[in-house]
Amino acid sequence: MPKIKTLLLTSALILAGCGGPATDTAPDPIPAPEAGIATEATRAANAAIADRLPLDDTTDFENAMRGFLAKIETDNILNEDGSVAWQNTQFDFLDGDAPASVNPSLWRQGKLNRIHGLFEVTDGIYQLRGYDLSTMTLIRGETGWIIVDPMLTPAVARAGLALANETLGTRPVTGVLFTHSHADHFGGVRGVVSEAEIAERDVTIVAPTGFTTEAVSENVLAGNYMTRRSSFQFGAGLDAGPAGHVGTGLGQALSRGPIGLISPTVELSGEAPRLTIDGVAFEFLDAGDTEAPSEFVFYLPEFKALSGAEVVTGNFHNVLTPRGALVRDTLKWSKVIDQMLLRYGDEAELMFASHHWPVWGEGAVRQRLENHRDNYRYVHDQTLRLANHGETLTEIAEAIPEPDFAATDFSVRDYYGTLNHNSKAVFQRYFGWWDGVPANYNRLPPADESRRYVEAMGGSAKALETGQSGYNAGDYRWAATVFNHVVFAEPDNQNARNWLAAAYEQLGFQAESGAWRNYYLMGAAELRNGPPETALVSLGNPELLRAVPTLMLFDALAVRYNPEKGPLATGSDAFSMGFQFPDTGEAVTVLARNSVMFPRTGLAEETRTVLTIDRADFDRLILGQAKVPDLLATGAMTLEGDPTGAAAFFGALDQFAPIYNIIEP
């Protein structure tokens, strides 16, 4: 908004709150600014970033293009059902200088991440980059390819392998490494190898200790809640463009398609195991409880190449993800990187990772390790230093400046995780979510609190005036706080929603973190247009569910147990129910009490009902792809004992709606 108009509007708002002649009707509400336009305050904030950082440094661009061999020439990579898994041209708009609506540092990171193709890291090591959030690495063994992290979905992994075979010569897959337990590093495995091929050729599938449990635990126990928030973090509902999605910082976007999992043939244990796969020697270092609960990094002596997995990549990572997960251990994170430095810092001549592009040269590898080690140690130590002075998590996050090396090393900047958010995560890990202030220990629910705030401000009209003044002054954090109270007090107040959306949009336009930008802009979009009708991100498919250990699946069902639908509520007694799975040879007994459902391995002697069904059919039942009457009619499921027991069991389970409110009560 031009400065003259801003001053006139601000003056009008001040006069509106200072009395004046009485009128019989309230003035018309001031409409929110037009969507998609950066304000003068945002332009100035982004220009200041451009002035402060060496954005013209071309080193990263040279590294990102080094060793380019070929790229997928088609516009789209398709799933088997014909849907688009990845669109190669979606980020072409990133050519040129950053517009005012994008933080110029994030724009630079997006330009780098959009570079796609097959690249030679060194003779015998190749990478597919720019076709998913993550990077797939191929290591040439004596007889075939060893695949490291086959991306999120089968279609992009299959297309990447095909490009490598076409360019470098066709070779079978002889090994697969899952560096850690996040889906974008194992979900595409069925695109490069099948279970039949694994059995036929004795393909080695290597994962870190605890992988199977951790790979599914987040997606099963907390999956419904986390999946909805993931769509905000990754901008799943945003159009790619200067006013929308420009990347996540960690990569450009998630590919779309069915996420699968094949159980590893080897789960490593120990601090530094060694393994030879298809003639290639690997030295592993356990990195669990850093970026993921189950993770390893590895060194290839033959190539003098170090893999940082997702422990050391091209950005500051999340210590607590916006989607929600267990808080990560920054102290251990820094110590694992220091182990990498001590063991391989003087030997490694190149370093690659599961995201971004490699670095070459002993000095560059050492600097990468040192700065990332120091970055995680810095946020840990400075958070605890200030906490021990009595500062709270919010005060600490505002007080910690970025470390000196972040001014010149783009690989530690806030493109994904941020210093502000990560310091709060460190505080939470040590002290919990509460800041120690008694008034914050048992606060009112947000909607109730907001109604009282709005009433105290003199009603929604006065509250909107306060927020509008903050917005016009470029104080978008304060404006968003005020507008959010109005929206939570009056969810149907569309003008308030539009103003809150406008404030979120400017915060998103200024964000250096792709995750922060996505979250703000997704919030703005839903305030203006409402939530989507269907989930934008989904992990519900048989390929993933069948890898879930059976007892863990029942732990997830126990999360759905509603005491208001349990035995006491239905006028019956507590009971136990047995499940037998002939195809896996497993059995589970569920104890259904008034308040708790507790599963145990094995079949108890006394059960009210025993249900016999193949685990594969039970998975389909849980996913809603099969119905109890149909399974009973075909004999795929049988019941022994009291048939009302099964009805009581399934009737007590809540069905989670995949779309729930985030930006409104």
Q: CB-based contacts of 170: which residues, under 8 Å, 6+ apart?
A: none
Tokens of 498: 């539009």
- Structural element, H or E, at residue 639: strand 637-641
**Cβ pair 502, 33 in contact under 8 A:** yes
pLDDT tens string 226-274? 889 999 999 999 999 999 999 999 999 999 999 989 999 999 987 668 9
Residues 522, 38: Cα–Cα separation, whole Å: 16
Domains belonging to the chain, first-starting first, are: 3-40+440-529 (1.25.40.880), 44-431 (3.60.15.30), 549-651 (3.30.1050.10)
- Cβ atoms 90, 132 nearer than 8 A: no
* For residue 82, pLDDT beyond 80: yes
Confidence band for 646, pLDDT divided at 50, 70 and 90? confident
As beta bridge partners, residue 600 has: 589
Amino acid at position 440, single letter: N
pLDDT of residue 623: 85
- Is the predicted pLDDT of residue 539 greater than 70, yes or no? no
Q: How far is CA 571 from CA 203, 323, 405, 574, 578, in A?
A: 55, 39, 66, 10, 21
Q: How far apart are CA 539 and CA 554, in angstroms?
A: 17
Query: What is the distance of C-alpha 474 from the center of its chain?
Result: 30
Does residue 328 contact residue 435 with C-beta atoms inside 8 Å? no
Q: Are strands 597-601 and 609-613 parallel, antiparallel or unpaired?
A: unpaired
7-11, 480-484, 548-552, 595-599: which range is least confident on average? 7-11
Contact 293, 300 (CB under 8 A): no
Alpha-carbon gap, residue 103 to 44, rounded angstroms? 11
pLDDT tens digits for 371-381?
A: 999 999 999 99
Confidence of residue 285 (pLDDT cuts 50, 70, 90): very high
The pLDDT value recorded for residue 271 is 67
Phi, psi of 419 (to 5 degrees): -60, -40
- pLDDT value at residue 442: 95
Does residue 536 carry a pLDDT above 70?
no
* 338: nearest Cα among 293, 283, 303, 375: 375
Q: Report helix, strand or coil for 584.
A: coil
**138-157 residue pLDDT tens:** 999 999 999 999 999 999 99
Of 114, 135, 125, whose CA–CA distance to 168 is shortest? 125
> Residue 6 pLDDT more than 80?
no
Which regions of 26-122 does DSSP assign to beta strands (E)? Answer: 68-70, 76-78, 84-87, 117-122
Mean pLDDT of 449-460: 97
3-class secondary structure, 276: strand
Mean pLDDT, the chain, whole residue set: 92
Q: Tell me, what's the pLDDT at 241?
A: 97
pLDDT of the residue at 649: 86
Radius of gyration of the chain (CA): 27
Which residue blocks in 313-459 are alpha helix, DSSP H? 330-344, 362-388, 393-399, 419-431, 446-456
